[in-house]
Structure 1
Amino acid sequence: MNNTFSPNKQIGVVSTFSELVHTDFKGEMNALCWYRNLDGDFKEIVNQLSLKENITEVFPKDLIALQVSEKGNIARETILNDLQLLTDFGASPSLNLLKCYERDDEFDFIATDVYSWHVDRSPIATDTFLCTYHGAASDIVPNSEAEQKIAIPEIRAKLKELHNGPEEEFEDFLKENYFDLHYQLHENAQPINLGQMHLWRLAVDHPKQQVQPCIHRAPKENEGEYRLLLIC
């Protein structure tokens, strides 16, 4: 499986890592894709790795220790190269074998887990990089097709009840609990699946950001299938 998508105003498509990291976001474009058709057997890698918890970090030494076929070795070399490229760029990539993320079911009217449509925020200028090598892939959606949940009157009213404090502290309360990062899609929204093997760069909310942060979510995992995800 290697999903394809139609080019649009939100997504820029590049053909090298250098283009991926040096192309500026602008206008409505807040997602960049290094589009790749890779030949490796990533499923073989996943089948040989051991899941110790719902999310297990996989290190280069773990990959190097695997006994794999020629196709498996191509997959391994691809992953190791991606980790090295990102590390050399100054990022801190993590390779995760995952069964599922933790769900946030504390409130029935708003969730703050990664399965909810959300944006990432950072105090420093940075971006989110991710690549799904195996399993279900993440989704993004144009900012024009979603709205902040805290702007929806009924949700905002419930959050004010939950806050139960001075009005002037309400906005800080929303930020401290990450409620302001989460979005609800419009009825006609058309999410875009990021597919497997492509390396993505998504815009993050930070003080120097020139574009809107990219709204995205983790997918519901496929039954009986682990995801192999690079993220930083």
Structure 2
Amino acid sequence: MNNIFSASSQIGLASTFSDLVNTDFKGEINALCWYRNLDGDFNEIVGQLRIKENITEVYPEDLIALQLSDKGNIARNIILNDLELLTDFGASPSLNLLKCYERDDEFDFISTDVYSFHVDRSPIATDTFLCTYHGSASDIISNSEAEQKILIPEIRAKLKELHNGPSEEFEIFLKENYFDLHYQVHANVEPTNLGVGHLWRLAVDHPKQQVLPCIHRAPLENEGEYRLLLIC
């Protein structure tokens, strides 16, 4: 089971939920995976849910109301259990049925949407948890495989033109507009796909973090296929 992720020195493996939440990030490890081969028919759940907009939050009562086969019921119980585990841990998980995220195409030289490789930032000590139950899964890369876009000279020059203000306020401008969170991947880098069914914990940029934040991106969705994603 470890072959998929063992080539990446940034990934630690957990065998239980307790391991996932209690293992400290250290060194290069800024992503932890509770690797699971889930049983159940998650496609049946997706087929019965109704998407209201590009992102529709699905609540436990929505899942409970579905009339499912035995396989569908197994999948539902897995999702409900994951939601309960994370809630009891103190997180605020959200289950989303996704058609697509909003695109940022305002500038042709830099993007700040979730399809761009980026890190998450928080003012408090927290982590990002996510699990894809159905559809395309996110990618991660190690921090040595990318460069902050704001440090690339040609991009930085264009951002300074865009800022058009006092130089001492430039760094504030970059943070306020989230430009500093986005990364350019080096040539010939093969991202690690997070796969379906595994519950991940990714390091976030916050004042107490002991490791570099995990660089990740949302996947391009498959045509005509919704994603079912737990995230918090």
Same fold (TM over 0.5): yes
Aligned to 1:52: 52
* Cα deviations by residue, 1:113-162 (Å, 9 ceiling, x for unpaired): 00000000000000000000000000000100000000000000000000
Query: Does the 8 Å CA contact 1:147/1:185 hold for their aligned counterparts?
Result: yes
CA distance in 1, matches of 2:53, 2:196: 23
- Which sections of structure 2, spanning at least 5 residues, go unmatched? none
SS of equivalent to 2:180 = helix
CA displacement at 1:190 relative to structure 2:
1.9
CA distance in 1, matches of 2:77, 2:2: 22
* Cα deviations by residue, 1:44-101 (Å, 9 ceiling, x for unpaired): 0000000000000000000000000000000000000000000000000000001000
CA distance in 1, matches of 2:5, 2:212: 21
Aligned-residue CA RMSD (Å): 1.1
Structure 2 residue identity aligned to 1:96: N
CA distance in 2, matches of 1:54, 1:25: 34
Runs of 4+ in 1 over 6 A off after TM superposition: none
CA displacement at 1:19 relative to structure 2:
0.2
Structure 2 residue identity aligned to 1:166: P
CA displacement at 1:6 relative to structure 2:
3.1
- The alignment covers a number of residue pairs equal to 231
Query: Does the 8 Å CA contact 2:140/2:194 hold for their aligned counterparts?
Result: yes
CA distance in 1, matches of 2:210, 2:223: 39
Aligned to 2:157: 157
SS of equivalent to 1:130 = strand
Aligned to 2:91: 91
CA distance in 1, matches of 2:43, 2:3: 20
Q: TM-score when scaled to structure 1?
A: 0.98
The 1:136–1:156 alpha-carbon spacing in structure 2 relative to 1, beyond 3 Å, is same
Query: Does the 8 Å CA contact 1:130/1:229 hold for their aligned counterparts?
Result: yes
Structure 1 residue identity aligned to 2:5: S
1:174 aligns with 2:174: yes
The 1:42–1:51 alpha-carbon spacing in structure 2 relative to 1, beyond 3 Å, is same
CA displacement at 1:29 relative to structure 2:
0.2
CA distance in 1, matches of 2:67, 2:93: 24
The 1:4–1:134 alpha-carbon spacing in structure 2 relative to 1, beyond 3 Å, is farther
Query: Does the 8 Å CA contact 2:5/2:192 hold for their aligned counterparts?
Result: no
CA displacement at 1:210 relative to structure 2:
0.3
1:111 aligns with 2:111: yes
Q: TM-score when scaled to structure 2?
A: 0.98
1:12 aligns with 2:5: no
Aligned-pair identity in percent equals 83
